[in-house]
Amino acid sequence: MIWFWILLAGVVTFLTRYSMITLINPKTLNKTYKEVLKYVPSAVFPAIIFPAIFLDQKGYFLDISSPQIWGFVIAVMFGYFFNSIILTIVSGLVSFWILIFLF
């Protein structure tokens, strides 16, 4: 019975997302809608990333000495100066791991 509910949840999730792709024709959207939709990824990405960096499991803000915060700061600096996504990700992960294992 549990597999039925898991499959049903998967199908419902798929259909709600797939319907937005197939039912909305981009050619029917006016210029204002297209301009506003350009900002959606920029608005959603911080909402996903912020809790993982600045909050603990209970939802409280972390201290400034937290490895997540310093890994984030180092990754932002690498991203700003080098304009490389791969280098940004690797620098953030490596700095986070070094801070966790050494301190």
Per-residue model confidence as pLDDT tens digits over 63-75: 999 999 999 999 9
Q: Could you state, in order of their start, the residue ranges of all structural domains in the chain?
A: 1-28, 39-102
Q: What is the pLDDT of residue 24?
A: 80
Q: What is d(CA 47, CA 8) in angstroms, rounded to the nearest whole number?
A: 27
- The DSSP string of 38-101 is TTHHHHHHHHHHHHHHHB-TTSPBPPTT-HHHHHHHHHHHHHHHH--HHHHHHHHHHHHHHHHH
User: Is the pTM for the entire model greater than 0.85?
Assistant: no
Q: Is the pLDDT of residue 77 over 90?
A: yes
Q: What is the pLDDT of residue 91?
A: 96
**Average pLDDT for 87-95:** 96
